[in-house]
Amino acid sequence: MYHALYSSPVGMLRLVSDEKGLRQLWLPNEIEEKFCPAEWIEDGDFSINRQIRDCLDAYFAGEKRRFDNLPLAPVGTAFQQSVWKALLTIPYGTISHYSVIANALNNPKAVRAVGGAVGRNPISILIPCHRVLGKDLSLTGYSGGLPIKKALLDLEKISYRS
């Protein structure tokens, strides 16, 4: 694995990738909680890390709005993968709800399981779980903390209830 730090408007992020793609994007609180194994190589010039860094630069500048063409390679169960793929279909500046995602997966009773998969998204921001809100537009949580979710929603000019 190759990892690199990225300084963003929401704090320091860590990119974790290999030849298959970006595996993880650690948010600031995760950087404090997790440690890189000794065998991981710190390399900001690794091609995928460079590509992701350029994409994040454009996103935080308000230019990059789609991430489905990036080499994203999160590791998870088949169900988690299907939820994360569904998250990639939520357009920039819009929201979705857990029930909408469950219905899109032809599994309307899986709302809680969808919530669990959203919460385990290893590539936050680029797999845009911050765009999932409660039906009343309330913030329903975010693995990186609500201040970061609010900042991302504000960047995309998405309305929400605090």
Amino acid at 41: I
Q: Report the alpha-carbon distance of residue 15 to residue 11 in Å, rounded.
A: 13
Q: Are 25 and 122 in contact (CB under 8 A)?
A: yes
Q: Per the residue annotation, which of 129, 133, 148, 152 is the catalytic one?
A: 129
Question: Which conformational region is residue 12 in: left (phi greater than 0), alpha (psi within -120 to 50 degrees), or beta?
Answer: beta
For the question of residue 55 being annotated catalytic, the response is: no
Task: Give the count of alpha carbons within 13 A of 5, CB side only.
Answer: 10
Q: Report the alpha-carbon distance of residue 44 to residue 160 in Å, rounded.
A: 35
Catalytic residues, by residue number, are: 129
